[in-house]
Chains A and B, each alone.
Chain A
Amino acid sequence: QVQLVQSGGEVKKPGASVKVSCKASGYAFTKYALHWVRQAPGQSLVWMGWINPGNGDTQFSPKFQGRLTITRDTSASTAYMDLSSLRSEDTAVYSCARASGGGFDIWGQGTMVTVSS
């Protein structure tokens, strides 16, 4: 079935970087944009950026510009989200989501990233 499976939870110290993977299956990976969204505990959803898996083009929210990198490995049908210079406010669940015409129709299970000294 169509699904996105993410890597496991991470605990990082302030100033460190985190890399979360998102493996797609059940559909043509290069045909759909992949986005990243995060949700801090008890808070709303925040859009971070997206990648065109077909050509690698990316676009990021200004909120994360300079700290966020999104890449993909088409041979592995996997996208990666790398967030650097972590601070406590980055503690959140990070999710990848497939965009299909309008909105996000398939979501990963989410990856909890905890930033704590």
Chain B
Amino acid sequence: DIQMTQSPSTLSASVGDRVTITCRASQSISSWLAWYQQKPGKAPKLLICKASSLESGVPSRFSGSGSGTEFTLTISSLQPDDFATYYCQQYNSYPWTFGQGTKVEIK
């Protein structure tokens, strides 16, 4: 199985901060990576697919980059609605796997 490792596990930030979350794959997954946002008690929401392709309706302050084994999710200016847990997921090969999550908290 491909292991996905996110860092940090928890991130404390203020509104307006630039935030970067890293996701590393245990082997190359090309650009077959998605990012999700999840709020407590809710289903995950797809933000980005193919490493850098923003889903329709997702604010442009979200961006993704990377390929191979290293990927980043960046929020250019953190908004109150962005405090949540973020997950990366590889869909290069089965079984598809998720990272352990990064919780973005209010500083």
Known: A45-B87, A103-B49. A61 touches B98 (CB 8 A): no
**CB-contact partner of A103 in B1, B91, B99, B100, under 8 A:** B91
Chain B residues touching A, range: 20 to 34
Residues of chain A with a CB closer than 8 A to B105's CB? none
A108 at the interface (CB under 8 A from B): yes
> What count of chain A residues pass the 8 Å CB interface test?
21
* B95 interface hit (Cβ, 8 Å): yes
Q: Given the known A-B contacts A44-B100, A45-B89, are A63 and B44 also in contact in the complex, defined by CB atoms under 8 Å?
A: no
Across the two chains, which residue of chain A brings its CB closest to B49?
A: A102
**B98–A103 contact, CB under 8 A?**
no
Enumerate chain A residues within 8 angstroms of B43, measured Cβ to Cβ: 95, 97, 107-110
CA distance A101 to B53 in the complex (A): 11
B51: shortest Cβ distance to chain A, in Å?
9
Say if the beta carbon of A105 comes within 8 Å of chain B.
Answer: yes
The answer to whether B55 touches A105, judged by C-beta atoms less than 8 angstroms apart, is yes
User: B49-107: which residues lie under 8 A (CB-CB) from chain A?
Assistant: 49-50, 53, 55, 87, 89, 91, 94-101
Question: Within residues 34 to 65 of chain A, which ones have a CB less than 8 A from any CB in chain B?
Answer: 35, 44-47, 59, 61-63
Q: Which residues of A contact B50 (CB under 8 A)?
A: 102
Q: Which chain A residues lie closer than 8 Å to B100 at the CB level?
A: 44
Q: Please state if A102 and B87 are interface contacts (CB–CB under 8 Å).
A: no
Minimum distance in angstroms from B6 CB to a CB of chain A: 9
New A-B contacts (8) at CB < 8 Å, excluding given A59-B94, A103-B55, A104-B36: A44-B98, A46-B98, A63-B95, A103-B34, A103-B48, A104-B34, A104-B44, A110-B43
Q: List 10 A-B contacts (CB under 8 A).
A: A45-B44, A47-B95, A47-B97, A59-B94, A61-B94, A95-B43, A97-B43, A103-B91, A104-B44, A110-B43
